Amino acid sequence: MALLIAVAVMLGSQGCALGLIADRGSCPPPCRCLGDLLDCSRGDLHMVPDRLPGWAVQLDLSHNKLSSIKVSSMIHLYNLRELRLNRNDLKTIPNLGPLSANITLLSLTNNKIHVILPEHLEPYQSLETLDLSNNLITELKAPSFPVLRLKYLYINKNLITSMEPGAFDNLSATLQVLKLNKNRIGYIPPKMFKLSNLQHLELKRNRMRHVDGLTFQGLDVLKSLNMQRNGITRLMDGAFWGLSNMELLFLDHNNLTEISRGWLYGLLMLQHLHLGQNAISQISPDAWEFCQKLSELDFTFNELTRLEESSFMGLSLLGRLFIGNNQISNIADGAFHGLSNLNTLDLKNNEISWSIEDMNGAFSGLEKLKRLMLQGNRIGSITKKAFSWLDALEYLDLSNNAIVSMQSNAFSQMKNLQQLHLNSSSLLCDCQLKWLPQWLTENKLQKSVKANCAHPQSLKGKSIFAVSVDGFVCDDFPKPQITVQPETQSAIRGSNVSFICTAASSSDSPMTFSWKKDNELLNDAEMENYAHLRVQGGEVMEYTSILRLRDVEFDIEGKYQCVISNHFGTSYSVKAKLTVNMLPSFMKMPIDLTIRAGSTARLECAAVGHPTPQIAWQKNGGTDFPAARERRMHVMPEDDVFFIVNAKVGDTGVYSCTAQNSAGSISANATLTVLETPSFLRPLVDRTVSKGETTVLQCIAGGNPTPKVNWTKDDSPLVVTERHFFAAGNQLLILVDTDFADAGKYTCEMSNILGTERGNIHLSVIPNPTCDSPANATPSLEDDGWATVGVVIIAVVCCVVGTSLVWVVIIYTTQGEGMRIAVSLTQMKPTYL
């Protein structure tokens, strides 16, 4: 096409004279012929001329005064495929009769068509391109298009305010490009587009203020979407959902204020995103989570003031980033981290100063950066560390910054640097700058450098290239030098804190002090500044600034830094950290608790403090306790509650909750008591003993509190004689020298506050004449299974003439608790002997 036009220009109006066209027959005036184009434009025609040559494949009737088309004058144009009727007076899409079916391109721009009716388009069964731009169409109704083979549809510059869902549905099989620029569309209804082959959609210069979620659903293969100049203020979450194949999105010249992942959701293939000339001031964290294929991002002319650590997180494929003409002053450490493929970074015309002057590698991570634009910022000094990481840089523009000083070899790691743009007439030409002219010349970089001295007075206005090497001398140090740095400290909440910073300078240029907290200037800081003369080593003025922070709260924690400037530059102190502490104090304290065995104990404990205290539990001063060991203990970190489930008697004890932070620790105690109803730890066993032997009846009781044990005989109170002994808190009833009268039913009753339990033992006594065998005197405790749980040794020394003492020694060991009870019944006088 472009070629044809070029030829047309060369040939001018003599085109028809060429043999090439003459073959096809005559070229009727006022038309011109060119190849298979019959150009009858600008002929002031009121009707289509008769006798148009039948060979015409393209017919241009633009710029005439046609208000209708006479079918008969066209009927013989069997070869016609493309028809242009731009700038005429047509009020409807013209009817070309049978010819319509062969037309592939119909251009009707700048007419007076105000409606698209399906019956007017129906005959155009071969139509691929339809241009209706610059007409008077006001709406797109649902039956507008019959089923056609349309691929390109342009309806720019009409008066469209509304579109009905489904208006384009009949074109879905073929439509590839749809342009609706410069209309008055304010709203796209849901399900508007079901165009499964559409690749490019343009909606520039309409009136969409908001874009709802799912607006573009149904455009599965769309590659580009153009929505510049709509005045869009808000993109709802999921605004572009469904455009998972889109590569280009143009949103320049709108009124967007924020980048958030909500509206970027689903743009999985997006490569270029253009957001220039909006009002964006914020890039939310994780904004790029769904568009990690981005290769070009344009934010020029927005309202960004800071770049956060997370601003570009995840954009590892980004190659070009344009953030020029914003108001950026603050670049967080690592803001560009992860942009490992970035090639071009444009930061021109921002307010960057300390981010370059005082930071360790603001550009860390930009290993592949080749072009960096920093012109038009507020950079006053350049240190070597400012550009660390930028080893691959080829092009660096620092022009239009009033640079005063440059540390020696600030650019020396940039082995590939080919262009350095610099213009400053503020340079401090002392010995520190001696390296610069030589280095620039050696590296052939002086061409785009304009660098003039401002100090010392003798060199003022001179180009650095005109100063001899010996001319750069250090007989003074006019730039502030920090001599006392602020110190890191911690303070108790409510106290007063101060930071001190001192600097010296040989110049009498006025010093200005400011303080920063976490890289942000403290605008209303309480400062005390004074100057004093330092005498040792020559007279030098020293300047001290004291920053006072009163009644400190936690929000005052941070890193504090003093910034001292004069005419010759700015010095930044170290960053001193302030921490504010508060001893923990209890919000909830555990209280004493008594519960039944098997139930759940709930102990509360919560404390506040700064830093947030850690809560820990102990039992009786130790951390290894049964509930913890047996996993019956649950700590709910959210609810400040500590549970012991299925409580056991062994859980009884003093529980201590300790709350600890770096300021100190506090603890609170609560006693947990687990109660248990009385129960027999051993089954009661009936006994048969020989007369004269010693009998031991056992009733081993469990429960908490320890049950009281009481014995009755034959349902009556036990008559206690001198032969009856009780041991182990009544759990053992010992009958010495058992008599027949002792036989009967013994009832053991044990009770504590939770209840009472009873059990019976039947004792039978059989005759046994011999009573002098020591073996028989030993009660047969082992027989009844006692030995499995403990050991009872009863030694009875009796029946021995001459011995008047009875010794009963019981050593009783219960399993489990490891408790030993030793009972000795000693020196009972056996009066019955």
Q: Would you tell me which residues interact with ligand NAG (CB under 6 A)?
A: 78, 98-99, 102, 118, 142-147, 166, 169-170, 231, 255, 399-400, 402, 423-425, 495-496, 550, 620-621, 654, 656, 667, 669, 708, 710, 712, 717
DSSP category for residue 788: G
Shortest distance (Å) from residue 12 CB to ligand NAG: 31
Name the residue nearer to ligand NAG (CB basis): 144 or 295: 144
Q: Give the type of residue at 228.
A: Q
Name the residue nearer to ligand NAG (CB basis): 551 or 686: 551
Shortest distance (Å) from residue 745 CB to ligand NAG: 14
Residue at token pair 């298979």: 36
Name the residue nearer to ligand NAG (CB basis): 268 or 402: 402
Contact present, 350 and 326 (Cβ < 8 Å): yes
Write down the H helix ranges in 317-371.
Answer: 354-357
Cα–Cα distance between 299 and 323 in angstroms, integer? Answer: 5
Shortest distance (Å) from residue 90 CB to ligand NAG: 21
Name the residue nearer to ligand NAG (CB basis): 734 or 806: 734
Shortest distance (Å) from residue 237 CB to ligand NAG: 21
Contact present, 697 and 683 (Cβ < 8 Å): no
Name the residue nearer to ligand NAG (CB basis): 67 or 172: 172
Return the closest-CA partner of residue 759 out of 800, 720, 710, 718. Answer: 710
Cα–Cα distance between 292 and 792 in angstroms, integer? Answer: 80
Residue 549 backbone dihedrals phi, psi, to 5 degrees: -120, 120
Q: Give the three-class secondary structure for 238.
A: coil
Residue 633 backbone dihedrals phi, psi, to 5 degrees: -115, 135
Number of neighbours of residue 435 by Cβ within 10 angstroms: 17
Name the residue nearer to ligand NAG (CB basis): 143 or 471: 143
Shortest distance (Å) from residue 56 CB to ligand NAG: 12
Shortest distance (Å) from residue 712 CB to ligand NAG: 6
Shortest distance (Å) from residue 771 CB to ligand NAG: 32
Core vs surface per residue 61-77: b (16+ CB within 10 A) or e: bbbbebeebeeeebeeb
Residue at token pair 């005063």: 404
Name the residue nearer to ligand NAG (CB basis): 74 or 291: 74
Shortest distance (Å) from residue 592 CB to ligand NAG: 12
Name the residue nearer to ligand NAG (CB basis): 124 or 812: 124
Q: Give the three-class secondary structure for 121.
A: helix
Name the residue nearer to ligand NAG (CB basis): 496 or 803: 496
Name the residue nearer to ligand NAG (CB basis): 339 or 727: 727
Number of neighbours of residue 583 by Cβ within 10 angstroms: 18
Shortest distance (Å) from residue 552 CB to ligand NAG: 9
Name the residue nearer to ligand NAG (CB basis): 321 or 732: 732
Shortest distance (Å) from residue 375 CB to ligand NAG: 8
Cβ-closest residue to ligand NAG?
231
Name the residue nearer to ligand NAG (CB basis): 421 or 687: 421
HSE-up (13 A, CA, CB side) for residue 592: 2
10 Å CB burial of residue 828 (0-12, 13-18, 19+) is: middle
Shortest distance (Å) from residue 76 CB to ligand NAG: 8
Shortest distance (Å) from residue 290 CB to ligand NAG: 27
Name the residue nearer to ligand NAG (CB basis): 77 or 684: 77
Contacts of 716 (CB under 8 A, 6+ apart): none
CA dihedral 435, 441, 442, 447 (to 10 degrees): 130
Name the residue nearer to ligand NAG (CB basis): 270 or 549: 549
Cα–Cα distance between 283 and 295 in angstroms, integer? Answer: 17
Shortest distance (Å) from residue 105 CB to ligand NAG: 14
Number of neighbours of residue 430 by Cβ within 10 angstroms: 22
Q: What's the N-to-C CA distance of the chain in angstroms?
A: 141
Shortest distance (Å) from residue 576 CB to ligand NAG: 20
Name the residue nearer to ligand NAG (CB basis): 402 or 795: 402
Shortest distance (Å) from residue 148 CB to ligand NAG: 8
Residue at token pair 């046609």: 66
Helices (H) and strands (E) in the chain, counts: 8, 58
Residue at token pair 């709910």: 636
Cα–Cα distance between 752 and 732 in angstroms, integer? Answer: 18
Q: Give the type of residue at 639.
A: D
Any bridge partners for residue 697, and if so which? 733
Name the residue nearer to ligand NAG (CB basis): 526 or 782: 526
Contact present, 53 and 79 (Cβ < 8 Å): no
Return the closest-CA partner of residue 657 out of 605, 721, 712. Answer: 605
Shortest distance (Å) from residue 229 CB to ligand NAG: 7
DSSP category for residue 186: -
Name the residue nearer to ligand NAG (CB basis): 98 or 785: 98
Cα–Cα distance between 169 and 292 in angstroms, integer? Answer: 32
Shortest distance (Å) from residue 9 CB to ligand NAG: 30
Shortest distance (Å) from residue 519 CB to ligand NAG: 26
Structure tokens belonging to residue 622: 């130790």
Q: What DSSP element (H or E) covers 261? A: helix 261-264
Residue 582's Cα: distance from chain center in Å?
29
Q: How far from 125 is each of 100, 119, 621, CA to CA, in Å?
A: 7, 12, 93
Q: Give the type of residue at 283.
A: I
Cα–Cα distance between 809 and 816 in angstroms, integer? Answer: 22
Cα–Cα distance between 595 and 825 in angstroms, integer? Answer: 37
Residue 640's Cα: distance from chain center in Å?
27
HSE-up (13 A, CA, CB side) for residue 216: 34
Name the residue nearer to ligand NAG (CB basis): 360 or 620: 620
Residue at token pair 């309480």: 526
